[in-house]
Amino acid sequence: MLVRLNKFLSRAGIASRREADRLIGQGRVSVNGRAAELGVRVDEARDRVAVNGRPVQANPRTVHILLNKPAGYLVTMKDPQGRPTIRKLLSGLPPGVVPVGRLDFDSEGLLLLTNDGELAFRLTHPRYEIAKTYQVSVEGEVTPETLARLRRGVMIDGMNAAPDAAVVLEAGPQRSRLRVELHEGRKREVRRMLEAVGHRVLKLKRTSFGALTVKGVPPGGWRPLTGREVSALKKRVGLEAGDSAG
């Protein structure tokens, strides 16, 4: 069966279709030993595809995982400095499984992983506005005035950053707890927003990603997504059943 090369690479978990086109344009993709061109089609059963000289497996087993990441793990599959990574919490994964977005080393909670490159790309794209919810403990008492300032937004890297929603769950002179929701995923955004209004984050846990929640999954544990959950995610980002890895 002939399929466009960028779709083949997306199905294999190498990259989104847009990123695959970039790799092809840079000359980093070959088909049967020759540099590939944009728009080329390949036979999944017969053609030999490689990226940076490494063979790409056609149609690997598609994986969609929900991990409850503990604090103290890097969201990467390997670290040259030897620090703990989420790979230590997972075993038996096929090639190309990558985290969907980021979660800080000191943060915990829900993290999705998949080898469906197109789905991973769309789930993290601001265009689709996938809401993520966090429970956050901070130093000091979050007053109504501080909460109002947080909701209005603060400047981070020259841009206004504001949560989609923010609610104080508990407030005390030494410690407060909030629920914060946002759909963006800039680096350490929740921590930086709260620090900008005068509250150092003590603990941060992502409790939901879209309709998915971490409920029932112990810290360090994971579960595969159900077929219904995968279908709902694809529908949410405009993918039909045959548009991604499966």
**Could you give the residue numbers annotated as active site?**
104
Given the structure tokens 């490689």, which residue do they identify? 50
Angle at which helix 227-236 crosses helix 117-124, to 10 degrees, equals 60
CA distance 222 to 144: 37
> Among candidates 84, 89, 87, which has minimal Cα distance to 98?
87
Instruction: Find out whether 137 and 176 touch, Cβ atoms under 8 Å.
Output: yes
Residue 8 backbone class (left: φ over 0; alpha: ψ -120 to 50; beta: rest): alpha
**Burial group, residue 96, by CB count within 10 angstroms (0-12, 13-18, 19+):** buried
